[in-house]
Chain A
Amino acid sequence: MTLLDVENLWVKFPSRHGAFDAVRGVSFTLGRERLGIVGESGSGKSMTGRAILRLIRPPGIVEADQISLEGRDLMKLSERDMREVRGQQISMVMQDPKFSLNPVMTIGDQIIEAYRLHNSTSKSKAYAKSIEMLEAVSIRGPERVMRAYPHEMSGGMGQRIMIAMMLIPNPQILIADEPTSALDVSVQRQVLSIMDKLVTDRGMGLIFISHDLNLVADFCDRVLIMYAGRIVEVCDADKLHEATHPYTRGLLNSLPRLDAPIDRLEVLKRDPAWSQTPSVSGRI
């Protein structure tokens, strides 16, 4: 079943030297699955995520034939209706918890606010619900954490709190923009398994944006590989290591490996033709 259908999405930024196209004609669909988007910085993967939520502000321009969420075209919604969609139907976990939590509000207040914005319940019910959610992301001593401020939390805890806050309105789609890049390897796995469990339990759709190919190969069901604002290849995550596009191969080969030592790492040789060829469609 298709939750989200994106067709021919463009993101443009006007500049002195003409418009700069950050995303150029990207199409894909998302069902109840984990969809990975990978690429280098500047390939337009974050912009794709933000454009879906219409978070790109002027002078940036978003154009698309359609971005439909269960038949409703998000491009045609008013700003007011869009606010209803954000959080409640689609929510987003940003890269660094340090910059996305409010530093002068306790964590409890922030989670309760996120919940009550979309559900009209009493404060005590919202409190109970928040504690439950913090437990779901395996935070020990949730009562203490509710009273704490973001600077008292470690990076891994902060990111789990962000996930709790984003999932409490029970959205249908979660967009995770490099949710684990700011974390250590050991904490990374923990955060991912929590996210994975919540997403499968609730039957949500997940868009997982990352530059880490191995992580995406392990964690997702389907992968879109982006280069210069376009999708160059779409493949199943478990077949990522058999990818055929030279760009994907180059990225895979440039990773050092513990089990297969080599003297020199392969350096990616960019072919101008990659950015010319039209985008591959990620629609099913």
Chain B
Amino acid sequence: MTMLSVENLNVWFGEGCDRVDAVIGATFAVEPGDSFGLVGESGSGKSTILRAVLGLVPDWSGKITVADKVLGKTREKSFYKTVQMVFQDPYASLHPRHSVDQVLGETLYLHGFRDIDTRVVKLLDDVGLGGKFRFRYPHQLSGGQRQRVAIARALAAEPEILLLDEPTSALDVSVQAEILNLLADLRTEHGLTYVMVSHDLSVVGHMCDRLAVMKDGEIVEVMNVDALRQSKAKHPYSQDLLRASV
């Protein structure tokens, strides 16, 4: 069984002469419990793939399967119990006038849980925040703490796949280390599957087992992290990228 597979995915925006092909013929598969990385420069379509999986782009073609179920044009409610996303900017992805308790409570309610009180406390413990952060507003939290809240919100539905869209690029290096450790711990604890987008090869190298290198909407190379570490990238673009990051 593959947890997530994407076959010949095309995503485009606009029509006629305004048409932009953001993703062209992307194909990859992720096994359960694996961690898969997507790297490339901005505009290469890596985030768009995640958004297509989540159903956030209107026009796409190809075949996306999640846990052996083929996805249609619309997503069912149960889909969001399997797949959740953590967004790039923790400053933009939390409602400024909702407290942490409201953010998590509402999410839990919408996913049909009724023992919200105990679950909110447990979620906060899971992401290492603790109960004293429960009634704070986003402006009372630091960037790293906000990203922890965003991760807690994604975990609220008890998903199997977590899509991570540059989860640490807005954070300092010291905070980045904390968040990456947290994500690694959560993956082993909950048996999660990760698809992680980043432009930082060393972060992907640290977090993932396999990765795909993207350029101009196309996946130019899929390889193992071991091959990456030994500088065995085949495509000239991935070699360039590797040279720029070492």
Whether the Cβ atoms of A258 and B176 lie closer than 8 Å is no
Which chain A residue shows the least CB distance to B44?
A: A184
Q: Across the interface, which residues of B come within 8 angstroms of A155, CB to CB? A: 42
B212-232 Cβ-contact flags toward A at 8 Å (1 or 0): 000000000000000011000
Question: Is B201 interfacial (CB 8 A cutoff)?
Answer: yes
Candidates A40, A41, A154, A258; contact of B245 at CB < 8 Å? A258
A155-B42, A261-B205 are known contacts. Are A266 and B177 too (CB-CB below 8 A)? yes
Q: Across the interface, which residues of A come within 8 angstroms of B246, CB to CB? A: 258-259
Which chain B residue shows the least CB distance to A262?
A: B206
Question: Is B92 interfacial (CB 8 A cutoff)?
Answer: no
Whether the Cβ atoms of B202 and A256 lie closer than 8 Å is yes
Q: Across the interface, which residues of B come within 8 angstroms of A256, CB to CB? A: 177, 180, 202-203, 205-207
Question: Is B117 interfacial (CB 8 A cutoff)?
Answer: no
Q: Across the interface, which residues of B come within 8 angstroms of A259, CB to CB? A: 229, 246
Q: Across the interface, which residues of B come within 8 angstroms of A185, CB to CB? A: 41, 199-201, 241, 244-245
Question: Is A275 interfacial (CB 8 A cutoff)?
Answer: no
User: Which of these binds chain B: A99-107, A129-137, A247-255?
Assistant: A247-255
Whether the Cβ atoms of A211 and B172 lie closer than 8 Å is yes
A152-195 Cβ-contact flags toward B at 8 Å (1 or 0): 00110000000000000000000000000000111111000000
Within 8 A of A (CB), among B94-150: 143
A264-B181, A268-B177 are known contacts. Are A186 and B229 too (CB-CB below 8 A)? no
C-alpha gap A185/B201 in the complex (Å): 9
Q: How far is the CB of B15 from chain A (nearest CB, A)?
A: 21
Within 8 A of B (CB), among A196-231: 211-213
A186-B244, A255-B202, A258-B246 are known contacts. Are A265 and B41 too (CB-CB below 8 A)? no
Whether the Cβ atoms of A267 and B206 lie closer than 8 Å is no
Q: Across the interface, which residues of A come within 8 angstroms of B206, CB to CB? A: 256-257, 261-262, 265
Q: How large is the interface on B (under 10, 10 to 19, 20 to 34, 35 or more residues)?
A: 20 to 34
Candidates B41, B43, B172, B177; contact of A267 at CB < 8 Å? B177
C-alpha gap A264/B177 in the complex (Å): 9
**Per DSSP, are chain B's interface residues mostly helix, strand or loop, or mixed?**
helix
C-alpha gap A154/B174 in the complex (Å): 29
Question: Is B184 interfacial (CB 8 A cutoff)?
Answer: yes
Q: Across the interface, which residues of A come within 8 angstroms of B207, CB to CB? A: 256
Whether the Cβ atoms of A189 and B174 lie closer than 8 Å is no
Whether the Cβ atoms of B181 and A265 lie closer than 8 Å is yes
Which chain A residue shows the least CB distance to B175?
A: A40
C-alpha gap A262/B42 in the complex (Å): 28
C-alpha gap A186/B173 in the complex (Å): 19
Q: How far is the CB of A150 from chain B (nearest CB, A)?
A: 17
A184-B42, A211-B173, A213-B173 are known contacts. Are A258 and B244 too (CB-CB below 8 A)? no
Within 8 A of A (CB), among B170-193: 172-178, 180-181, 184
Which chain B residue shows the least CB distance to A266?
A: B177
C-alpha gap A155/B199 in the complex (Å): 15
C-alpha gap A222/B158 in the complex (Å): 49
C-alpha gap A262/B228 in the complex (Å): 15
Q: Across the interface, which residues of A come within 8 angstroms of B173, CB to CB? A: 40, 211-213, 251, 254-255
Q: How far is the CB of B44 from chain A (nearest CB, A)?
A: 9
B24-53 Cβ-contact flags toward A at 8 Å (1 or 0): 000000000000000001110000000000
C-alpha gap A115/B245 in the complex (Å): 36
Question: Is B76 interfacial (CB 8 A cutoff)?
Answer: no
Question: Is B240 interfacial (CB 8 A cutoff)?
Answer: yes
Q: Across the interface, which residues of A come within 8 angstroms of B203, CB to CB? A: 256
C-alpha gap A257/B203 in the complex (Å): 8
Q: How far is the CB of A39 from chain B (nearest CB, A)?
A: 9
C-alpha gap A198/B174 in the complex (Å): 32
Q: Give the A-binding residues of B (Cβ under 8 A).
A: 41-43, 143, 172-178, 180-181, 184, 199-203, 205-207, 228-229, 240-242, 244-246
- List 8 A–B pairs whose Cβ atoms lie within 8 Å, in order of A's numbering: A40-B174, A185-B241, A185-B245, A186-B41, A186-B240, A255-B202, A265-B177, A267-B174
Beyond A41-B143, A266-B177, 10 extra complex contacts between A and B, CB < 8 Å: A40-B174, A189-B244, A254-B173, A255-B202, A256-B202, A257-B206, A258-B205, A258-B228, A259-B229, A267-B174
Q: Give the B-binding residues of A (Cβ under 8 A).
A: 40-41, 154-155, 184-189, 211-213, 250-251, 254-259, 261-268
Closest 8 pairs between A and B when the two form their complex, measured CB to CB: A256-B206, A254-B177, A265-B177, A184-B41, A268-B174, A40-B172, A258-B205, A185-B244
